[in-house]
Structure 1
Amino acid sequence: MRTLSLALRTSAICLLAICFANFNLSPELDAGDPPLAPTTKANPDWLLNPAPYRSQIQTVPPVDPLQSEAHRPTEIRLTNGLAERVWQISPQVATTSLKLLSTGEEYVRAVGPEARLTIDGQSFPIGGLTGQPVKNYLKREWLSQLKPLPGSYSFVSYQTGPIEERFAWKKRPEWMPRDLPWPPPGQHLVLQFAPPAIPPQIETGKVLFQERFGENSPAAKIDAGWKPTVSTRHPRTSFHNEGKAGELMALPDTCVYLEREWPAEGASVELTIDCGDDTNANSWGPGLAWKFPEGTISLVARPHSQQLEIYGFQGGEQLLGEFDRTQPISLRLSLQQNEVVCEAAQKGASFQSLARIPVTSHPQTLRIGKIGKHGDGKDYPTAQGEPCRNHLHEVTLRAKPAPSAQPVLADLPRVEMHYEIYDGLPLFSKWMVVHNTTSRPVVIDRFVSEELRLVEVESSVEDATLTERYNLHVESEYAFHAMDAAHACEAGVRIQTDPDYPTQVNYRKQTRCLLDASPLQGPGIHLPPGQRFTTYRVYELLLDSTDRERRGLAQRRMYRTLAPWVTENPLMFHKVQSDPASIREAITQCADTGFEMIIMSFGSGVNLENSNAAYRQKYRQLADEARQKGIALGGYTLTGSRSAGTPADNTQGAPAAFGVMPCLGSAWGRDYLQRVKDFLFDAGLSVLENDGPYPGDLCHATTHPHHHGLADSQWVQWEAQSDLYRWCRKQGIYVNQPDWYFLNGGNKTGMGYRETNWSLPRAEQEIIERQNIYDGTWTKTQSMGWMFVPLSQYHGGGAAATIEPLAEHLDHYEARLANLIGSGTQACYRGPRLYDTQATREVVCKWTRFFKDHREVLGGDLIHLRRANGRDWDGWMTVNPTGRERGLAFFYNPLETEVRQTIQLPVYYTGLATNARVTVEKETPRILPIQAGHQLPLELIIPPRSRTWVLLEEVN
């Protein structure tokens, strides 16, 4: 990697060096329309031709490594012509723009830290700027006025280079429609951060004024510099009740306070109080306030709710923390780098930061005592009851602490922030690496690897429901317990409310506009000296349309780029036996018909946990025999919803997602994963079907050797499961898993179906199957989702639901093959055999040959034409705009009568612009013109209870 040192501020820090026309389609889809962004030959649609959009890292102004520090850049840009991310790097690093260049849409409305890291219970921002006047938008002229976040990790330098592979991948090109690069082409940026300098302690600042109320003042006198304000709502209201200076007597929710001019050199004020017998007051509680030219900032105790209230003149009150009203509490306001820091401490503990409020001026006066709502001197209009007491104990005003001659860096780990941008699509990734450069072990309690203040997608005064969708798809590797990204990725990334957005429209400040990438639990990792911890990666895909098809196409392109192994799509037979004779019969049938994979299915009897050498050798011989005929052999193992060897090795505490789950941080759990690896390796198997992978369960045990307790249990188990799949990718072992582990090496998950539906009558299964494929491929490629064909009885249903004997239901068997292969989708054909007669064999061979003849276009994107409803034709089209075969459309007819229609086929995503070479099944090819709106009119006859396919090719 190229390295440029961009040291900031001190030499000590330097040393550390994401179209369719009239088809009677769903109302939400109009896929015949051209893309929203205009395209030209020089600026083509990236979904059709991504080649021009190459990634680069730019500096503004451009940097020469030989130039002096005075010429360091002020911005870094990660861009590829489709999207860009921009960082301001002086006086500190912060993301100032995330933009989709094709539409001009800006995603960032406010600055903040690049990340957050909590180490040994103490939280630190990573980089970040503050001082933005309002958070609704970010004006460029504000950037020069922004200040570093206090106490944050400081930017040191950056490095650049090409993207490197996340882990090794042994490709299986025989199962792929076309070769894809690994690692994906693009650029990688690393920002280096050093620990924050230790700030001088506020308590060391020179004392400008101090008063201990009630001490040495028998005449109840207070310093002459105070100006009292006393409520007139009750005659006993006083700031020296019964002659005791600092004892406040007043009705609940009324005011009695002391005010004095604030010294010009003053930097902090600390007040110790107790609430006395005031148990009813809310906003009108004891505390302190600074009055500025532009308004008042107050920090007061609410005795009734036992919470602290902060009011800032830039917008609204905040209720933060809890306190014990029976004990004294200390409150502190301090000026730190153009911010007022509000803090509190109780029972001898250290001060805890509550809020930071930007300011542009100096305080004018200080108020202490029982202060009104918003720090003012107004009584609550309906205040009533009996007077009650609060007590002022001590107030101290200090000057700013003297700066250290040489900043001392905190003894904390070093941090790297990593970013990638990918060629040919508007996609970024981001992750954090923590290097423990200290001499002691540290605990990484929590991290936030991405914190983007997004331009809100909607504004509502009432409770914000987020009915609109962001033009942004965010996903992470930290995903489990779901068959779709939207649900699986909630474990690691969310769009939530932003408490630091006082000027939003929503009254309760509940607009979801803060992108937060952090685990819900932990990670709680114990990191020894000299080792490093790497967070999961977050992927941010910027979307250029609200059209459902186009958004899905972008997401599917993302998976092919980040996890190209998902395009491996072998024809797979689920064998319900595992004895050698049955497997050899399956090998023969697969080789005879063109199937490419045999999976010894659940219930087959295979045991991948068996450590017996002779047992493994038996399957080694079968795997070798299969391999010689071009067939991959593998088997099934159950991870979830089963017990470990002993109950103590299961997850402890709350019930597991599936009732019971071995803890993958226990000795048995790790041994189980290793036994599966060893079996696959020793037996030479090429397929792992892993049922119930780690679904995100927690474990409260403290005796399991591979995790410390609850805090790190989720992370450790996810990492163990992911490691199994990464290892499989390196070995070229295909992985079926019913959870979202694609970015960690998984090949396929369920397309999405209800298993009991395969017990319905056969004719209904055909239609529901097409619905499942149609619905499951909006955000998954066809190759990412398996379907299911129960050749033998499954979940009941009897003879009406079962295909066996195959020859007796050959029309249905062919319909299922045509449904699946016509969409490029593979199914678990589960049963004892693939064919039983020569006629059955010929049907299977017909469709496997069709799949292999058209594998490239069938492995392209699926364009949704019409969802199956049993009332009219339905269908889809697979497209490949850079291939020889540009499109392959299938039209299905569920009716007992033929369908004759002129269908306007939307061909935009085939890349064909003027003419197309059209073949309808085995008819003679014709050259047809493409009409306006990218429509190709086709006169089709679809036979009853059958299908028709149409091939589109480029005109030579």
Structure 2
Amino acid sequence: MIFEELRTVKLPRLSGNRPSRPKDDWLLRPEPFRTGVYGTEHPHELVMDNGLIRRTWRLFPNAATVAFDNLMTSETIIRGVKPEALIRLNGIDYEIGGLKGQAEYGYLRREWVDALTANQDAFQCTGYETGPIKERFPYRRVSETEAAVWPPPGMSLTLHFAPPERAKELKGLVLSVHYEMYDGLPLLAKWFSLRNGSERAWRIDSFTSEMLAVVEWESPVETPDRWDYPNIDVESDYAFQGMTRKKANRTTCWLPDPDYTSQVNYDCLTPLLLVSKPPLGPGVTLPPGEAFDTFRTFELVHDSTDRERKGLAQKRMYRVLAPWVEDNPIFMHVMSDGADEVRAAIDQCAEVGFEMVILSFGSGFDMENDDPAYIKRMKELADYAHRKGIRIGGYSLLASRTIGAEEDVVNPNGAYYVHAPCLGSRWGRGYLQKMRTFLERTGFDALEHDGSYAGDICGSTEHPGHIGREDSQWMQWRAITDFYKWCRGSGVYLNVPDWYFLNGSNKTGMGYREVNWALPRERQLILARQNIFDGTWEKTPGMGWMFVPLMPYHGGGAEAILEPLSEHLDDYASHLANNFASGVQAIYRGRRLFDTEETKRVVRRWVDFYKTYRPILDSDMIHVRRPDGRDYDCILHVNPRLAHRGLAVVHNPLDGPLRTTLRLPLYYTGLTDAASIREREGTPVFYELDRTFHAEVPVTVAGKSMTWLVIEKPEG
């Protein structure tokens, strides 16, 4: 390696080594925090920094992360140097970069780094390049509510590596480790790519795309039954098998670090080695002339342990990485695919301001039907909907079904959803092509895709889409995410009850139990508000859907449903209030939205309310008081960038009127000294904020009713 090739003299210099804490709160004012790549006083060192986090690499004698700092808290994140990545090729393990010789792994002094040496058997750094962030995949913006910024603003850094000199058989392979740091939030992405410039094929048995020796979060002498992990959220786009981030996270591992022998825990089992790797494989073969990309790992550094603030940070991350989650259409599930019934539902949606119709499960709709006559009929319905200004889509079931022994996953433990076809089978490949063809030919612009790929492993050696067990998970994930990315680039809205947001899906369940919608109506209403309150800790309002059983759903009888709508108008209105006032759209499943003029007026009134306050209702939510059926419950929408800085929603589940004084936390509205607060469209009242940015507001709410408060900046 030549010294001059890796000098960072062309980069702007970052003066000083001591990180400084930011003066602004990035959740309120992200503009000052712009990403840069810098050189330092050391000739072989470079830094990515956005004022919130800073990561530092030495490039000689090999590339390695030598510092990772939380500038918001003035704390270091890592305590030691590890390889930048690991890869197993044809059964042999290789380190990517890294430096050796650190004797103590409890902490890392700057002067120690100069004495570290390169592992001659590792891939060696040959250079780097920087530039803007590139889009992960095409994104067609179809709604005015979606953010216009794509790709996200920030900077990228790529470190290039060549195989070790002594591994002559690896000649021609080029491995590049990629980093992205985003403007305005403490977030870093990492992945690597391998290009095969040799004349032979290579099997990628496994890989680790990130390895960090993180500072421990706790140091118990005895090994506890349950550990607390360091205050950093790590996830990847290799996610499946869950409606929540936690369940769908298949790649993040917190492991013991065998190099850290001086830790307090006697068993040396403290989980402080952060590793990001697939649970299996990938086990894929890389032919000559082709390239392989790993999944992307995203590292969100927190500046607080407060649950609300951490949730706001996570939601900001998704608004930046997946801006399509801000597309939050009002939609109906129609229980028919007959032309007359669907047109009637489209007409009703247009009359009351709904924006999307989805042909529901149980409607008879079949997206796998490629008969030309059926395609023609569906295209006519799509054309009719579009003339009315309505988007249209349909439901399709992937998992939870069996096709046959030759097409289903081959696994002695069964499938996650009991039964599932393999996406690498002939049927699976044909199914995804049918979905794409249907959408292209009909002009449908929404897909509700139930039972998406859930990570099933398939041991078949006969399926054309994978070789065997080891590559089956990777290849099926690639198949479904390639399809979802195509949908995103084509402007197709995706309702997917699994965590595929980072690969293009728009919405998943807010968090609900299906059979609860067969309970008596009054119980549904409070449970629904609990679902919304709990689901929005990690989801924006637009990321989750709720449910309204206009017709029977999972049984329950007449006391559970809303039909006839005019005879249960109070309960129908309460469902509408629950959903629209929270900014959460629900599946209104039935054959009609209204049956009388009075019903129509009620639906229209709540749609108009939502559209009047849509920007603030679609904004982030502060959790004031959880519904419990015993007292008021309250949520607070906040956005310091809007004229409506906040909108508080207060429900009274009791039979009689409820009088209380709300203590509204207004910090995230951006107001510091005072607020102008009005109830509904009433007269604004001036309130001073206390030292913790709270306003005490007296309210009276009628029995079995709700009200809302609009928070604005006082004039003058």
Instruction: Please confirm whether the aligned pair reaches a TM-score higher than 0.5, indicating the same fold.
Output: yes
The alpha carbon displacement at 1:691 in A equals 0.5
1:436 equivalent in structure 2: 196
Matched, 1:60 2:60: no
Among residues 175, 199, 210, which one is paired with 1:450 in the alignment?
210
2:152 equivalent in structure 1: 184
2: CA distance, partners of 1:714 / 1:465: 31
Among residues 180, 183, 194, which one is paired with 2:162 in the alignment?
194
- Residue identity matched to 1:457: W
1:324 equivalent in structure 2: none
The alpha carbon displacement at 1:590 in A equals 0.3
The alpha carbon displacement at 1:931 in A equals 2.6
1: CA distance, partners of 2:108 / 2:355: 56
1:492 equivalent in structure 2: 251
Among residues 99, 102, 116, which one is paired with 1:129 in the alignment?
99
Alpha carbons 1:195, 1:409 under 8 Å: kept: no
Task: State the identity %.
Answer: 47
1: CA distance, partners of 2:226 / 2:28: 32
- Structure 2 residue matching 1:148: 3-state secondary structure: coil
The alpha carbon displacement at 1:154 in A equals 0.2
Matched, 1:880 2:639: yes
2: CA distance, partners of 1:470 / 1:788: 36
- Residue identity matched to 2:35: S
1:390 equivalent in structure 2: none
The alpha carbon displacement at 1:160 in A equals 0.5
2:182 equivalent in structure 1: 422
Alpha carbons 1:5, 1:158 under 8 Å: kept: no
1: CA distance, partners of 2:621 / 2:411: 44
1: CA distance, partners of 2:710 / 2:568: 28
Write the deviation string for residues 826-846 of structure 1: whole angstroms up to 9, x where unpaired: 111111111111111111101
Matched, 1:524 2:504: no
Aligned length: 702
1:106 equivalent in structure 2: 76
- Residue identity matched to 1:56: G
1:172 equivalent in structure 2: 142
2:108 equivalent in structure 1: 138
The 3 A distance-change label for structure 1 pair 38 and 468 is: farther
- Structure 1 residue matching 2:114: 3-state secondary structure: helix
Among residues 326, 329, 337, which one is paired with 1:570 in the alignment?
329
1: CA distance, partners of 2:85 / 2:217: 23
Alpha carbons 2:106, 2:263 under 8 Å: kept: yes
The alpha carbon displacement at 1:461 in A equals 2.1
Among residues 659, 670, 686, which one is paired with 1:927 in the alignment?
686
2:360 equivalent in structure 1: 601
- Structure 2 residue matching 1:798: 3-state secondary structure: coil
The 3 A distance-change label for structure 1 pair 808 and 469 is: farther
- Residue identity matched to 1:112: K
| Structure of greater relative contact order (alpha carbons < 8 Å, 6+ residues apart) | 1
Among residues 642, 651, 666, which one is paired with 1:892 in the alignment?
651
Write the deviation string for residues 794-837 of structure 1: whole angstroms up to 9, x where unpaired: 11111111111111111111111111111110111111111111
Mapping 1:329-728, distance limit 5 Å: 410-411=170-171, 413-489=173-249, 491-644=250-403, 646-654=404-412, 655-728=414-487
- Structure 2 residue matching 1:458: 3-state secondary structure: coil
Alpha carbons 1:917, 1:952 under 8 Å: kept: yes
- Structure 2 residue matching 1:129: 3-state secondary structure: coil
Among residues 513, 532, 535, which one is paired with 1:776 in the alignment?
535
Larger Rg, first or second structure (1 or 2): 1
Write the deviation string for residues 870-913 of structure 1: whole angstroms up to 9, x where unpaired: 00000101111111111010000000111111222110000112
- Residue identity matched to 1:534: D
The 3 A distance-change label for structure 1 pair 542 and 667 is: same
1: CA distance, partners of 2:130 / 2:376: 48
Among residues 645, 666, 672, which one is paired with 1:913 in the alignment?
672
- Residue identity matched to 1:899: L
Matched, 1:86 2:56: yes
- Structure 1 residue matching 2:461: 3-state secondary structure: coil
The 3 A distance-change label for structure 1 pair 504 and 607 is: same
The alpha carbon displacement at 1:8 in A equals 6.5
- Residue identity matched to 2:604: C
- Residue identity matched to 1:182: W
Alpha carbons 1:457, 1:470 under 8 Å: kept: yes
2: CA distance, partners of 1:602 / 1:497: 47
With structure 2 as the length reference, what TM-score do the two structures score? 0.96
Mapping 1:206-217, distance limit 5 Å: none
2: CA distance, partners of 1:8 / 1:677: 46
Unpaired stretches in structure 2, ≥5 consecutive residues: 8-18
Alpha carbons 1:130, 1:148 under 8 Å: kept: yes
1: CA distance, partners of 2:342 / 2:259: 63
2: CA distance, partners of 1:641 / 1:673: 16
The 3 A distance-change label for structure 1 pair 493 and 643 is: same
2: CA distance, partners of 1:752 / 1:80: 35
2:129 equivalent in structure 1: 159
1:287 equivalent in structure 2: none
Alpha carbons 1:5, 1:157 under 8 Å: kept: no
Alpha carbons 1:917, 1:955 under 8 Å: kept: yes
Among residues 29, 32, 57, which one is paired with 1:49 in the alignment?
29
Alpha carbons 2:147, 2:324 under 8 Å: kept: no
2:12 equivalent in structure 1: none
2: CA distance, partners of 1:513 / 1:467: 10
The 3 A distance-change label for structure 1 pair 91 and 438 is: same
The alpha carbon displacement at 1:661 in A equals 1.2
The alpha carbon displacement at 1:443 in A equals 0.4
The 3 A distance-change label for structure 1 pair 792 and 822 is: same
2: CA distance, partners of 1:827 / 1:787: 4
The alpha carbon displacement at 1:98 in A equals 1.4
RMSD, matched Cα: 1.7
2: CA distance, partners of 1:669 / 1:854: 43
Alpha carbons 1:888, 1:950 under 8 Å: kept: yes
Q: Which moved more, 1:545-554 or 1:775-784?
A: 775-784
1:313 equivalent in structure 2: none
Mapping 1:230-249, distance limit 5 Å: none
Mapping 1:735-750, distance limit 5 Å: 735-750=494-509
Mapping 1:271-286, distance limit 5 Å: none
1: CA distance, partners of 2:592 / 2:43: 67
The 3 A distance-change label for structure 1 pair 725 and 614 is: same
- Residue identity matched to 2:235: E
2: CA distance, partners of 1:571 / 1:105: 44
The alpha carbon displacement at 1:96 in A equals 1.2
- Residue identity matched to 1:944: G
The alpha carbon displacement at 1:467 in A equals 3.8
1: CA distance, partners of 2:56 / 2:600: 59
Write the deviation string for residues 108-142 of structure 1: whole angstroms up to 9, x where unpaired: 01111000011000110000011111111111121
- Residue identity matched to 1:615: Y
Alpha carbons 1:169, 1:732 under 8 Å: kept: yes
- Residue identity matched to 1:635: G
